[in-house]
Amino acid sequence: MQPNTSSPHGHGQSERDKGAAGAEDADIRTYVTLMLADQLCGIPVLLVRDVLAGQQIARIPLAPPEVAGNLNLRGRIVTAIDLRQRLHLPPRSAANKPMSVVAEHGCELYALLVDQVSEVVSLRATDMERNPPTLPPIWAEHSVGIYRVSERLMVVLDVERLLKLELMMAA
């Protein structure tokens, strides 16, 4: 999936058309949208190295619960982090296979397991709002802000915090 700044369609549609560039170019942020436990989320596209589906994940004995295992990405070993576990959300059912968003952090590659990855949206930086008080604390902790996207809230995930080792549960 190639990141692009053209107008998206379908799920997570932006309200404004970015075609009229002009003075707003500097303020446009592009996100990869994804679904996690029925919550729409976004990750800045520049942090995303790859999006994968149907990966063979080898489990790692004695790893912390949010580490789903290892996978082989073109010869590099990538650690898979199950975001549902990480955010203490209920586990996904066995029938639903996760998709992965591969991000880099501290010279290591991590595959963030999510339910579904949608497309790339471009939004105006000025539209980003602070986390509303109604946002459940588990999301608030790992979000840098939210966007209102066609009557839904899109939580912008704080990838750095998600991958912060010290915060992960020890085995």
Q: DSSP string of 83-108?
A: HHHHTTPPPPPTTS--EEEEEEETTE
d(CA 109, CA 137): 27
Site pattern 74..113 for another protein (x: CB under 8 A): -x-x-x--------------------------x-x-x---
Site pattern 1..40 for another protein (x: CB under 8 A): ----------------------------------------
Q: Calculate the dihedral angle through the C-alpha atoms of 102, 37, 86, 75, rounding to the nearest 10 degrees.
A: -20
Q: How far is the CB of 167 from another protein (least distance, A)?
A: 11
Could you tell me which residues come within 8 angstroms of residue 127 by beta carbon, excluding any fewer than 6 positions away?
A: 147, 148
Based on the shown chain and the rule CB under 8 A, indicate whether residue 58 belongs to the binding site for another protein: yes
What residue ranges bind another protein (CB under 8 A)? Answer: 56, 58-64, 67, 69-72, 75, 77, 79, 106, 108, 110, 165, 168, 170-171
